[in-house]
Amino acid sequence: MAGAIATFPTAPRAAHPDRATAEPLVVRAVLIGIVFAFFALFLFLPLLVVFMEALSKGVPAFFAVFEDSATAHAVKLTFIAAGIAVPLNTLFGLAAAWSLTRFDFPGRPVLITLIDLPLWVSPVIGGLIYVLIFGAQGWFGPWFIDHDIRIIFALPGIVLATIFVTFPFVARGLIPLMQAQGTQEEEAALSLGANGWQIFWRVTLPKIKWGLLYGIILCNARAMGEFGAVSVVSGHIRGKTNTMPLHIEILYNEYQFAAAFAVASVLCILALLTLVIKTYAEWRAEQQLAEAARTADLPIHR
Amino acid sequence: MKIPATILLAVAATLHAAPSSLLNVSYDVTREFYRDYNEAFVRHWQAEKHAPITIDQSHAGSSKQARAVLDGLQADVVTMNQDTDIQLLADAGLVAADWRTRLPDHAAPYTSTIVFLVRNGNPKGIKDWPDLVKPGVEVIIPSPKTSGNGRYSYLAAWAAAKTAPDGSDAKAREFVGALFKNAPILPPGGRDATNAFVQRGLGDALLTFESEALQIAKVFSPGAYEVVTPASSILAEAPVSVVDRVVDKRGTREPATAYLQYLWSDEGQKLAVKHFFRPRAAALLAANAGIFPPLQLRTVDEIFGGWKEAQKHFQDGGTFDAIYQPAKP
């Protein structure tokens, strides 16, 4: 999670490009060597293992895994949960970034800090709070149960937990960008008679679209991969409330190693695709940010 | 990303689950058994001209599952591996107080016990409990703090030492202490312990349920392990119950009760044997003595005076905490 924060586009990089190369050659070689060894050991090797294990029983067996109804359902449920959580968090992130960068109001710094909260607490807590609120012994649980509405141990709980763990991503991606871009263009549009919607669609959105896409992609990646929070509220009902990450654990515990790794490889492929799109969006977002920095009168607030 | 109609349908389906389904909330190592049993029960239920029914399964650690039902997981039936996990629900009013007597055999349709799994050829010559505390023997036991499997292992060791010719509670305490001194790690659950022993190759003996040990030795890795049955061990009853509050609300008491009663049928008992649980039917057990060698089985009631007393061993600051000191690096 901490890594995700560090990779948000901030100010243009390489402000002092010569600093890193000013070290003696030996130091550089050792550091680069360590980085490569680290990457090989902690990223490349595990990824290789996942794909090798997934295909250990052959390609037909790999595809047969997804014909199992419980596995197919886990894939579907993951897409449904992400399909609800990501659009909602996109709306929330846009609204939050808009209000936090366009208006000055009391409590604004507190809100900016609070947006990060889900990144700092353990996802298990993200799940437990919903059990405490909506569980049979929780605050609102008895009322919902009396009215036959399932929140936890059902789809709504899974969506709630997913929203909780992914809600900072879009806002976090947009806030620095919108801060750097300032409000002059919006003010110009306003003085020319544009209304709020027109300003948003024709001026703001085109300026932030790459930053927004970047946030949505990170949000989606996390939504599909979330384990801890969802595990607490899922109830683990086979073919009903298991998402892909939960199903992987179940398959592994059932000694179906090839099947577990087959599902894991799908998540890995999704992650790699995400990485490619993310890199592109990040690059475009940085361009937008750099452009904003060039044209802005004020230095960037970081 | 998805068509809203699909989402709405999914939400609607979750909100109003059709009553022609039952949810069986169970513990970790019964997946294979209940997969077969559910098929058999559905066939039987429909043959009796009832409306079609589907059975959903949820599996995780026994105590974690009891907790989930307490928090609102709508289980029609619970099938646990320990009396205390259903008693917890009874204490909270979800299950009727007389749950133990509503079904035969203390509401436990099959049993198991704690045995040893050793590597092929039994290189350390482990035959009975005293062999486990010899120097140089490493034993893998799941943590008694977090798993029913580990609790039964602890109680089985205690019972064996207490009922030995010169046995006593003090001797038992000493023996269990020595046993856990030979445990290099305490995996949190039964399957974690199996994975440590089988996948990671740790330890000389694995203490686990007979059903799990037989499954590994005969199904998952045939020829690589041997099951050692000690002279005496603990009787592990796996109790079942309908969750009264849920079945009354959903109107599923009839199928839920029939589902549990069918566990005692010929077919149910034979499936238990197939998945290495000791059946209650005496004739069936005797006929399968090759799989389930006879041994002296002690009950928790007889050795510890009931689960309430036995549970005190595992509370924070209880006997287990006093005995077990994790190996210092």
Nearest to B1 among A82, A149, A235 (CB): A82
Q: Are residues A284 and A195 in the same domain?
A: yes
Residues A42 and A96 in one domain: no
**Claim to verify: residue B303 and residue B176 sit in the same structural domain:** yes
CATH number at residue A269: 1.10.3720.10
How many domains does one find in chain A?
Answer: 2
Domain hosting A48: range is: 17-54
A44 with A173, same domain: the answer is no
pLDDT of residue A18: 55
What is the DSSP-derived secondary structure letter of residue B29? G
Helix, strand, or coil (residue B218): helix
Residues B253 and B199 in one domain: no
User: Mean pLDDT per 10-residue run, chain B (329 residues)?
Assistant: 48 51 90 94 92 92 86 94 91 95 95 96 95 95 87 95 92 94 88 88 94 91 93 95 95 95 97 96 94 94 92 90 71
> Do A160 and A240 fall into the same domain?
yes
pLDDT, position B290: 92
Tell me what pLDDT residue B2 has.
42
- Tell whether A11 is covered by a domain: no
Residues B253, B217 within the same domain: no
CB contact under 8 A, B71 and A80: no
- Please state the φ and ψ torsions of residue A11, each to the nearest 5 degrees: -70, 160
- The mean pLDDT of A206-232, rounded to a whole number, is 91
CA atoms in the 13 A half-sphere facing the CB of B72: 28
- Nearest by CB to A155, from B2, B11, B56: name it: B11
| B1, B15, B60 member nearest A236 (Cβ) | B60
Cα angle at B57 between B55 and B59, to 5 degrees?
165
Q: Which of B71, B89, B219, B246 to mutate to test the interface with A (most CBs of A within 10 A)?
A: B71
How large is the ipTM? Answer: 0.74
Rounded (to 5) percent helix, strand, coil in chain B:
45, 15, 40
Contacts with B7 from chain A: Cβ below 8 Å: 80, 83-84
The range of the structural domain enclosing residue B133 comes to 112-236+292-323
- Both B172 and B197 in a single domain? yes
Q: What is the pLDDT of residues A134-192, one digit of tens each?
A: 988 888 888 888 888 888 899 999 999 999 999 899 998 898 888 888 888 888 988 99
Is residue A7's pLDDT more than 50? Answer: no
Same domain, yes or no: A133 and A67: yes
A109 and A190 co-located in one domain: yes
Shortest Cα distance, chain B CAs vs residue A171, angstroms: 20
Same domain, yes or no: B63 and B134 = no
Instruction: Tell me, yes or no, whether A80 and A148 share the same domain.
Output: yes
**Closest Cα in chain A, distance from residue B17 (Å):** 10
- Which CATH number characterizes residue B89's domain? 3.40.190.10
Above pLDDT 70, what percent of chain A? Answer: 90
Residues A68 and A40 in one domain: no
Same domain, B188 and B140: yes
Q: Based on the domain organization, do A37 and A106 belong to the same domain?
A: no
How far apart (Å, rounded) are the C-alpha atoms in residues A17 and A37? 24
User: Considering CB atoms only, which of A137, A150, A235 is closest to B70?
Assistant: A137
Q: Which helix (H) or strand (E) holds A245?
A: helix A244-253
Residues B8 and B153 in one domain: no
Does the beta-carbon distance from B58 to A235 stay under 8 Å?
yes
Tell me which chain B residues have a C-beta less than 8 angstroms from the C-beta of A130.
none
Q: Do A227 and A287 reside in the same domain of the chain?
A: yes
Q: For residues A258 and A252, what is the distance between their CA atoms, to the nearest angstrom?
A: 9
- For chain B, the straight-line distance linking the first and the last C-alpha, in angstroms and rounded, comes to 52
d(CA A124, CA B320): 28
Q: How far is CA B283 from CA A170, A203, B270, in A?
A: 66, 82, 11
Number of domains in chain B: 2
B14 contacts in chain A (CB < 8 Å): 150, 154-156
- Residue B329 has what pLDDT? 47
Q: In chain A, pLDDT over 90 holds for what percent of residues?
A: 36
Mean pLDDT of A203-212: 88
- The answer on pLDDT for A11 being more than 60 is no
A23 and A75 inside one domain: no
The reported pLDDT for the residue numbered A89 is 94
Closest residue in chain B to residue A77, using alpha carbons only: B10
Residues A32 and A99 in one domain: no
Q: Does any domain span residue B284?
A: no
Beta-carbon separation of B59 and A149 below 8 A: no
Please name the residue of chain A whose CA is at the shortest distance from the CA of residue B74.
A153
Q: Which residues fall within 8 angstroms of residue A268, CB to CB, at 6 or more apart?
A: A47, A50, A51
Of the residues A224, A255, A256, A274, the best mutation for testing chain B's interface (the one with the most B CB atoms within 10 Å of its CB) is: A255
Q: Looking at the domain assignment, is residue B55 inside a domain?
A: yes
By CA distance, what is A145's nearest residue in B?
Answer: B72
Residues B315 and B209 in one domain: yes
Q: Which one of A83, A86, A236 has the shortest CB-CB distance to B59?
A: A236
pTM of the model: 0.80
What's the mean per-residue pLDDT of chain A? 85
